[in-house]
């Protein structure tokens, strides 16, 4: 295993353990050894985003796109970094690019829904949250958002159904939607 691979492995271990600063340091070291790796740039972006450093995350995700081309996961995370930086219009455009590549990308659907919810376009937000939950069963954030959008729209039955799934997820009893 070479130096870049060892540093990347340390980065992944730290990322999974919630040690985001340590993960970022490891991924940055790996990138110095392998500066053309889109995966390392992406992982550095994830560490920075989770560490609350959206500006650094944006830079890393932009580099990952330049190195590896259009990728729905990279775009969805770049959109989140932009949103956290208050660049809502840019984030929306990035989420749309992610969805053009992967129409059922759960995070892009959910996060785009958050933008519409913030604009009080609850019907569009609800549609996006529903698509996100269909794309990934048990997607807590999207279910939470779907419940709130249904509440705003007065869709009591749908709100109650989302609430029921959330309760199952919160109590660890699984989802009533599971086969």
Angle between helices 140-153 and 106-118 (to 10 degrees): 30
Q: Are 54 and 76 in contact (CB under 8 A)?
A: no
| pLDDT confidence bin for 177, thresholds 50/70/90 | low
Q: What is the pLDDT of residue 109?
A: 99
Distances (CA, A) of 118 to 39, 65, 76, 128, 145: 32, 28, 18, 13, 11
For each of the domains in the chain, give its residue range(s) and CATH number, in order of start. Answer: 106-179 (1.25.40.10)
CB atoms within 10 A of CB 158: 17
Q: Write out pLDDT tens, residues 94-141.
A: 999 999 999 999 999 999 999 999 999 999 999 999 999 999 999 999
Q: What share of the chain is helix, strand, coil (3-state, %, to 5)?
A: 80, 0, 20
Distances (CA, A) of 71 to 45, 102, 105: 14, 9, 11
Q: Are 82 and 49 in contact (CB under 8 A)?
A: no
> Any residues with CB less than 8 A from the CB of 116 and at least 6 apart, and which?
122, 124, 125, 128
């Amino acid at each position: 295993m070479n130096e870049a691979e060892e540093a990347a492995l340390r980065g992944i271990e730290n990322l999974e353990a919630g040690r985001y600063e340590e993960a970022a340091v490891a991924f940055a070291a790996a990138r110095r050894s392998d500066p053309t790796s889109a995966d390392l740039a992406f992982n550095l972006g994830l560490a920075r985003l989770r560490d609350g450093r959206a500006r650094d995350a944006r830079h890393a995700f932009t580099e990952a796109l330049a190195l590896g081309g259009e990728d729905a996961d990279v775009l969805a995370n770049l959109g989140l970094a932009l949103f956290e930086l208050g660049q809502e219009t840019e984030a929306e455009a990035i989420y749309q690019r992610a969805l053009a590549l992967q129409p059922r990308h759960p995070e892009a659907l959910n996060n785009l829904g958050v933008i519409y919810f913030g604009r009080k376009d609850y019907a569009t937000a609800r549609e996006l949250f529903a698509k996100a939950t269909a794309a990934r069963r048990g997607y807590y954030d999207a279910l939470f958002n779907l419940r709130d959008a249904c509440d705003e729209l007065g869709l009591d039955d749908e709100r109650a159904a989302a609430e029921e799934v959330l309760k199952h997820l919160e109590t660890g009893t699984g989802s009533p939607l599971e086969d």
